[in-house]
Amino acid sequence: MEQKSKNISVNIPLTMLKAGQEAKIVTVKTEDNQKLRKLAAFGIFPGTEIQVIQCYPSIVIQAGFTQIALDSEIASEIIVNLNN
């Protein structure tokens, strides 16, 4: 969608979000094609809006109507944009 708030938006890894925060996925930073496909299958893809449900012991995010649990290694490769 629109990116009007560009100047105050920051791109950070998913691991830096706190429970309850919402963000939009910007990119998945990995050279591993398998992993890209895998995450795409779960709807983790640039442009997807997500909300962090909890951070420990695994990171749980809500994407659409799906809840997905991720370990911190994978989560650290998911770069999101905090839009406010």
Residue 1 binds to other proteins (criterion: CB under 8 A): no
CB of 69 vs other proteins, minimal distance in Å: 4
Spatial separation of the C-alpha atoms in residues 22 and 82, rounded to whole Å: 7
- Identify the residue among 2, 4, 7, 65 touching other proteins (CB under 8 A): 65
Q: What spatial distance separates the first Cα and last Cα of the chain, rounded to whole Å?
A: 14
**Burial class of 60 by CB neighbour count within 10 A (0 to 12, 13 to 18, 19+):** middle
The smaller minimum CB distance to other proteins, of residues 10 and 38, is found at: 38
Residue 74 binds to other proteins (criterion: CB under 8 A): yes
CB of 41 vs other proteins, minimal distance in Å: 3
